[in-house]
């Protein structure tokens, strides 16, 4: 799908393509800002990020080129927001392991965890335990900012609703003795 050019309100009579935005962002003159209203499913965001990666390849931009991406995610369903938090928490952990050049086995385990979380209805036992531990910690936290350094702009009411979802999921898991 080709994204049509749009007018840059800061530059009169200009049309900027998606590829132009990518190039500007890589050169440090812009940030790629993506908005998902009514996110619904984490996989929608994954496809968007894969498309961004494809745009980098098409424009022959090195994979390690600095690129600032801001995602604005919005959904009125707290369960969707809770799932997004857990998914991006898994991706953030994977990124941390990769950047600090952790052992390959640890990185692969984090990849499997993120893939299982996103695409599977089953998890390895140690991943299920880690997921429950993380949800327990988040459900007990009044302040998300320390535990989720990648998250910005979550208001207190939204965080309370998200925490309530974690607590409900944990209650259901304990009742069923599975995640």
Task: Return the ∠ at Cα 115 (arms to 112 and 119), rounded to 5°.
Answer: 140
pLDDT of residue 178: 55
SS3 113: helix
> Does 66 or 70 have the greater pLDDT score?
70
CA proximity to 39, closest of 97, 6, 80: 80
Render pLDDT for 69-101 as a digit per residue (tens, 0 to 9): 777 877 888 998 899 899 889 988 888 898 889
Residues 6+ apart with CB under 8 A from 28: 66
Question: Do 67 and 56 touch, CB atoms closer than 8 A?
Answer: yes
Spatial distance between the Cα atoms of 146 and 154, rounded to a whole number of angstroms: 13
How confident is residue 151, by pLDDT bands cut at 50, 70 and 90? confident
pLDDT of residue 48: 78
Render pLDDT for 159-179 as a digit per residue (tens, 0 to 9): 999 999 999 999 998 888 754
- Residue found by looking up tokens 């799908």 in the block: 1
CA proximity to 114, closest of 129, 135, 93, 132: 93
Residue 71, burial from CB neighbour count under 10 angstroms (0-12, 13-18, 19+): middle
CA proximity to 14, closest of 2, 24, 1: 24
Mean pLDDT of 34-51: 77
Burial 128-140 (b: 16+ CB within 10 A, else e): bebbbebbeebbe
């Amino acid at each position: 799908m080709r994204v049509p050019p749009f007018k840059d309100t800061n530059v009169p009579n200009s049309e900027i393509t998606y590829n132009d935005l990518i190039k500007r962002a890589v050169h440090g003159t812009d940030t790629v800002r993506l908005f998902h209203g009514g996110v619904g499913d984490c996989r929608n965001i994954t496809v968007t990020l894969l498309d961004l990666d494809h745009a980098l390849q098409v424009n022959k931009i090195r994979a390690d080129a600095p690129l600032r991406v801001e995602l604005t995610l919005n959904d009125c369903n707290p369960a969707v927001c809770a799932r997004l938090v857990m998914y991006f928490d898994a991706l953030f952990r994977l990124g941390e392991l990769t950047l600090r050049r952790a052992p390959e086995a640890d990185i692969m385990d984090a990849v499997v965890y993120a893939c299982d979380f996103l695409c599977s209805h089953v998890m390895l036992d140690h991943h299920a335990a880690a997921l429950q531990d993380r949800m327990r910690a988040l459900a007990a936290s009044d302040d998300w900012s320390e535990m989720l350094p990648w998250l910005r702009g979550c208001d207190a009411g939204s965080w309370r609703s998200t925490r309530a979802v974690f607590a409900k999921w944990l209650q259901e898991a304990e009742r069923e003795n599975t995640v």
